[in-house]
Structure formats: structure tokens, C-alpha cells
Amino acid sequence: MARIAGGDSVNTAELATSTHTGTHVDAPWHYDDAGARLDEIPLEVYVGPCRVLSVTPQGGYVTPAALAGLPGTLPPRLLLHTGQPAHWAEFPEDFTALEPAFVREVARRGVRLIGTDCPSVDPLTSKTLDAHAACRETGVLILEGLNLSATPDGDYDLVCLPLPLAGVDGAPARATLLPAGTLG
């Protein structure tokens, strides 16, 4: 928009994007007209203990079988590494989605935020958004588009900071993992 080389006093860029670009959070209002908007969700939901878990899809979905061998109680944030690359040359049309039964099972085990390295928890062509609906039913929030390509499985502290936008359905976010226990 402005360039010092062009006679302006500063360099300034313009930003225009969707609220669901790159790594982003979905506020419940994204998939439920009666759901909370982003500014109604406490930031604490996005900060604290989490587990990174590599999963192998079955028929294109993460199923409850992915939880075999895990304890009955999980950290409040679960980040799923499905094998998506760190960067997409083109928007992926085929990626791993979540079975609603998986969402319900992790919620039963204490998860309140599901993160994935995919652009959505539902298939791109879904019109019913069954995984989003399961998140709505269980009160689980959604974080999508993570870069987990070089992250080993294990326990961490998540710091996810969505852009502080009011009255919206989601926002791009900066998400980083710290060693477990760093936040106290």
C-alpha cells in the first residue's frame, strides 16, 4: 500500500484473507448459528497441556481405534498428526477427516480441543459436517491446519493465539509447542 521507495514515509502491506486460512481456529458459530463467536471463547482454551498423536487413517478417517493403548484420561488438548505436509502447493482436496465416534470418545476422555494438520475435521465435500457436529455436541473446540511434520509424538504445552477478532466464526492463529510443564 505504501513504499518508502515511492516517496511514502513507511512501508505498509495490505492483508486480505479468510478467517480459515492456514493454521486457524473454528469458533462454534462457524458451524452452528447459535454457537459462540470467537471473542466469546476464553483464550485459556487454546493454552496449556496437550498431546501430539500420530494417527493412521482407516478409510480416510481417524477412528476410535487410534486411541488404542492410550490412557482413559487424556490432556485437554489433542493434536493429530495425520501426515499432511508442512506446506501445500495447492489446497488439498483429499485429507484425513475425523469420525464423529472419535470426537465423542476423546471428549469422554477429557479432550476439550482437537487440533489437526488437515484443513478441516470433515472431508472437503461434506455437506453435513458430521465431525463438526460431534464437536458441537461434546463442546470440543477445533484447531485446523497445524504443521506437525517435524513434531514427535508426546506431551507438550500448547500456546495457540488466534487473531483477536470480534464477532467472527474463526481466525488464523499462531500455534507453538513448548516442552511439557513449561507453563507451570
- CA 155/CA 130 separation, integer angstroms: 28
pLDDT tens digit string along 140-154?
Answer: 999 999 999 999 999
Strands (E), the chain: 24-26, 47-54, 61-62, 77-81, 97-98, 113-116, 141-144, 154-162, 170-179
Burial 36-46 (b: 16+ CB within 10 A, else e): ebbeebeeeeb
135 in a domain, yes or no?
Answer: yes
Cell 482407516 belongs to 58
HSE-CB for 67 with a 13 A CA cutoff: 21
pLDDT band at residue 92 under the 50/70/90 scheme: confident
Q: Averaged over 121-130, what is the pLDDT?
A: 96
Does residue 44 carry a pLDDT above 90? yes
> What CATH number does residue 151 fall under?
3.50.30.50
Which H or E run contains 39? none
Q: What is the per-residue pLDDT for 84?
A: 85
Mean pLDDT of the chain: 96
C-alpha cell at 76: 485437554
138 in a domain, yes or no?
Answer: yes
Cell 511439557 belongs to 180
Q: What is the per-residue pLDDT for 119?
A: 95
184 in a domain, yes or no?
Answer: no
Does residue 10 carry a pLDDT above 80? yes
Most distant CA pair in the chain, distance: 63
Active-site amino acid positions:
30
Domain that holds residue 126: 18-178
Q: What is the per-residue pLDDT for 128?
A: 96
Cell 463442546 belongs to 139
C-alpha cell at 171: 481466525
Kindly report the backbone phi and psi dihedral angles of residue 11, in degrees, each rounded to the nearest multiple of 5, phi listed first.
-95, 130
140 in a domain, yes or no?
Answer: yes
Q: Averaged over 23-31, what is the pLDDT?
A: 97
183 in a domain, yes or no?
Answer: no
Lowest-pLDDT choice from 21-30, 83-92, 130-139, 151-160: 83-92
The amino acid that residue 122 corresponds to is D
pLDDT tens digit string along 158-170?
Answer: 999 999 999 999 9
Q: What is the per-residue pLDDT for 108?
A: 98
pLDDT band at residue 25 under the 50/70/90 scheme: very high
13 in a domain, yes or no?
Answer: no
Does residue 91 carry a pLDDT above 90? no
8 in a domain, yes or no?
Answer: no
The region, left, alpha or beta by phi > 0 then psi within -120 to 50, assigned to residue 79 is: beta
Q: Averaged over 44-66, what is the pLDDT?
A: 97
C-alpha cell at 107: 471428549
Domains: count for the chain: 1
Q: What is the per-residue pLDDT for 89?
A: 78
144 in a domain, yes or no?
Answer: yes
- CA 84/CA 33 separation, integer angstroms: 30
